[in-house]
Structure 1
Amino acid sequence: MFAVFFSYLLPIIKLYLLGLKVLLVQLFSGPFRLPVMPRQDGKVAIVTGGGRGIGFEVARHMARLGAHVIIGGRDEQEGLAAVTRICEESKEAKVEFKKLDLASLQSVRQFVQSFKERDLPLNILVNNAGVMLVPESRTEDGFEQHFGVNYLGHFLLTWLLLDTLKHSGKCGYFSRVVSVSSSAHRVGEITLNDLNGCQYYSAHAAYCRSKLAQLLFSSHLHQLLQRGGFPVTSCAVDPGMVDTGLYRHLWTPLRLAQSIIAHLLFWTPAEGAATVLYAALSPDLEGDCGGGYWATGRREMTTPATFDPQLQLSLWDATQRLLGLQ
């Protein structure tokens, strides 16, 4: 009984202490201001979860710069409303919505198949969609919800689009994979024989685990691409604590407190999107300068586990087996 209680309580304490630290840093450092980015005419970008929050701001900014933006999301009404809003703000914007449910591997495959049938290039993939602190539940394929949506869905999406990303990149204009992670990865733990978190469920531990897995994936992918000499980079971004709907599953009293604190201390979605856009668009991150973990507009060091080559490889192999990939 004590072990169950401890495994449930400890991740909560770790995550909220980390959140307090992040808030203090944000209070004194201020948000990153995105420099003027070059035009993106002729480039194609996919942004998951682009119907609202950080993803919407990323999609909107890219469309303003001339990119052809495809918003992938589960909520069709929300996605179409986002497209309408972007087009109203910029009459020449080229943006569209396509159905993509990251909790369904079949939906991910259908999205990719539909995209490839159009024979479009793919210059930027922003793995932004995510869930946080959801009650215990399973995806369509039986995976724990955080692990399935935040990590497995994006792993499969990236894997299936990798050939298009490779063919679309070239020297001086590398394709880019940007995964929106979180500082929560710092208190996450990967247990290879219990990736689904079945033994003792904790929404807080599951969220942190999924973000650590996402970061390990991003780092290992970048190394594979570099070793293969492909014109594609992969990096992860921490947008900071941002005032979005991601916190709606907090315990009710905490959610009420969070709504007040968020108004005072959290960053806006546009401010949270700044480093994501920098990682996706900046000429300063071209080629060998890409990759890594980014926060507030600069590359940062993170936990030793993130750089553990054996853990990266073991997770990668285990994930391929879970997804039935070669």
Structure 2
Amino acid sequence: MLAAARACILPAIRLYLLGLKVLLVQLFSSPFRLPAMPRQDGKVVIVTGGGSGIGYEVVRHMARLGAHVIIGGNDEQKGLAAIRRICEEYREARVEFINLDLASLQSVRRFVRRFEGRGLPLNVLVNNAGVMLVREGRTEDGFEQHFGVNYLGHFLLTWLLLDTLKDSGKCGQYSRVVHVSSSAHRIGEIRLNDLNSCRNYSAHAAYCCSKLAQAVFSSQLHQELQSGGHPLSSCAVDPGMVNTALYRHLWTPLRLAESAIARLLFRTPAEGAAAVLHAALSPALEGERGGGYWADGRREEAAPLTFDPELRLSLWETSLRLLGLQ
């Protein structure tokens, strides 16, 4: 009983202390300002969770630069409302919505079939959607929700779109996969024999695990692409603590405090999106330079586990097996 309580409480304490540290850093530093980016006419971009928050700001900026942007999300009403706002602001914007529920592998496959049926290229994939601190539960396919949505759903989406991404890239204009990460990956751990967090469940630990898995996947994917000589890069981006609905599942007293603190200390969605847009569009990140872990427009060292070759390969192979891709 004591061990179970400790397994639930300690990850929460660690995550909230990390959040406090991030807030203090943000308080004493200026948010990253996105420099002018080149036009994206003729480029096609997919942004998961692009109907609100950081994703919406990424879609909005991409559309302003002339890209054809597809929002992948599970809330059609929200997605269409986002499109209306963007088109009111930029009359020439090319933005559309395709239903995508990352908690359903069938939905992911259906999304990819619909996209591929259009015969479009794909120049940028932004894996932005996610859940945080949701109650214990399972996805449609039986996976723990954080692991299933934040990691496995995006793994499958990326895998199924890899050929299109590779075919759309070329020397000097690589295609890019951008994973919206979190500093929470630094306190995560991956138990390959318990990826569904069945033992002593903690939503805080499960979230951190899913973000670490995402960072590991990004690193391994980039290595695989570069060793294969493909014109496609993969990176992870930490946008910082941003005032979005992602934090709505915090412990109630903290949530009430957070709503006031967020307005003062959290970054705005547009400020958070700047780091994502830099990774997706900056000419300085062309080719092999586009890999790695980024925050505030700078390359940073990810958690040491991200570089563990045995863990990277084991998680990669386990994910392929879980998704029936081998």
Whole-angstrom CA distance in 1 between matches of 2:138 and 2:82? 28
1:182 aligns with 182
**Correspondence for 1:164:** 164
Deviation string for 1:109-159 (max 9, x for gaps)? 000001001110000000000000001111000000000000000000000
The CA deviation at 1:6 is 1.0
Query: Given the two structures, how large is their TM-score scaled by the length of structure 2?
Result: 0.99
The separation in 2 between residues aligned to 1:156 and 1:310, in whole angstroms, is 21
Q: Could you tell me which residue of structure 2 aligns to residue 221 of structure 1?
A: 221
**Alignment length (residue pairs):** 326
Residues 19-75 of structure 1: CA deviation (Å, up to 9, x unaligned): 011001111112100000000000000000000000000000000000000000000
Report 1:48-63 matches (<5 A). Answer: 48-63=48-63
Matched, 1:254 2:224: no
Structure 2 CA distance, aligned partners of 1:246 and 1:206? 15
The secondary structure found in structure 2 opposite 1:71 is strand
Q: CA deviation at 1:2?
A: 1.4
State the shift of 1:303 in Å: 1.7
Indicate yes or no: 2:146 matched with 1:146: yes
**How big is each residue's C-alpha offset from its partner over 1:150-201, in whole Å with a ceiling of 9 and x where there is no partner?**
0000000000000000000000000000000100000001000000101111
The DSSP-based 3-state class of the residue aligned with 1:294 is strand
The answer for unaligned runs of 5 or more in structure 1 is none
- Structure 1 outlier segments of 4+, above 4 Å: none
Q: Aligned partners of 1:314, 1:308: CA distance in 2, in Å?
A: 10
Shift in Å, 1:302: 2.1
**Cα drift, residue 260 of structure 1:** 0.8
The residue aligned with 2:121 is 121
Q: Which residue of structure 1 lines up, in the alignment, with residue 203 of structure 2?
A: 203
User: Which residues of 2 match residues 1-326 of structure 1 at below 5 A?
Assistant: 1-326=1-326
In 2: Cα distance, 1:156 partner to 1:209 partner: 18
Distance 2:288 2:103 in 1: 33
In 1: Cα distance, 2:302 partner to 2:152 partner? 22
- Indicate the SS of the match to 1:72: strand
Distance in 2 (alpha carbons) for counterparts of 1:304 and 1:257: 33
| More off after superposition, 4-13 vs 225-234 | 4-13
Q: TM-score normalised to the size of structure 1?
A: 0.99
Q: Percent identity?
A: 78
- 1:281-302: CA deviation from partner (whole Å, max 9, x where unpaired): 0000001211000001100012
Deviations 1:224-249 (A, max 9, x none): 00000000000000000000000111
Q: What are the Cα deviations for residues 205-236 of structure 1, in whole angstroms up to 9, with x where unaligned? A: 00000000000000000000000000000000
Distance in 1 (CA, whole Å) between partners of 2:209 and 2:288 is 28
| 1:3 partner letter | A
Deviation at 1:8, TM superposition (A): 0.5
Partner Cα separation in structure 2 for residue 301 and residue 186 of structure 1: 10
State the distance in 1 between where 2:55 and 2:245 align.
12
| Distance in 2 (alpha carbons) for counterparts of 1:274 and 1:122 | 21
* Structure 1 residue identity aligned to 2:23: L
Q: 1:200, 1:87 → 2: CA distance?
A: 47
